[in-house]
Structure 1
Amino acid sequence: MELADRAVGLLLTLISLSIFTYFTFWVIIVPFVDSDHFVHQYFLPLEYAIIIPVFAGVALLSLLSLFVGSVMLKSRKKKNKKA
């Protein structure tokens, strides 16, 4: 099992590193490259560099809120059954 955990950890690290590298290159380097350069075909318009992280953050906060709310409701039901 330890080997599988290490493999999953390595895979998640590589995915996170590649996303971070892509996003950093997209936001910091691409705006300074000429607009007719071939590099621009590999990236979305710069507006999406703000829209995508904001949407991901809102989705993450919503899921976390739902999780915390469900845990609180379950703990409240357990307390009511004991009393």
Structure 2
Amino acid sequence: MATGLDQLVGMGLVGVSAVVFIYYSVWVLVLPFVDELHPLQSLFLPRDLALLVPAAALLLVSAGLGLFMMAVRWKNHRSKKSA
């Protein structure tokens, strides 16, 4: 059973994910139809970054996952050698 702190962290992560999803969806799906001089445009990044930001995030997550897997395999290989 999850503790209160685990539940709080989980709810926080879900909340942050929801905010990021809504922000990105509005940025990519709604803003192209809004006039460029509208004040709403100042709340969002330039449209040029709409594909660059997720691509960079995917690259960073993939690199981090690869490094983690490499470290685990290296650690397991070392422990088998010494046993």
Q: TM tier, shorter chain? A: over 0.9
State the 1:31 CA deviation. 0.3
Moved over 3 A (4+): none
Q: CA RMSD in A?
A: 1.0
Counterpart mapping for 1:24-63 below 5 A: 24-63=25-64
**Which string of whole-angstrom CA distances, capped at 9 and with x for unpartnered residues, describes residues 9-44 of structure 1?**
111111100000000000000001111111100011
How many residue pairs are counted as aligned between the two chains?
82
TM-score by length of 1: 0.93
For structure 1, the residue ranges without an aligned partner over 5 or more in a row are none
- Residue 74 of structure 2 aligns with an amino acid whose one-letter code is L
TM-score by length of 2: 0.93
- Residue 20 of structure 1 aligns with an amino acid whose one-letter code is F
Percentage identity across paired residues of the two chains: 32
**Which string of whole-angstrom CA distances, capped at 9 and with x for unpartnered residues, describes residues 23-70 of structure 1?**
000000000111111110001111111111111110110011101001
Number of the residue aligned with 2:19: 18
Number of the residue aligned with 2:68: 67
State the 1:2 CA deviation. 1.3
Number of the residue aligned with 1:3: 4
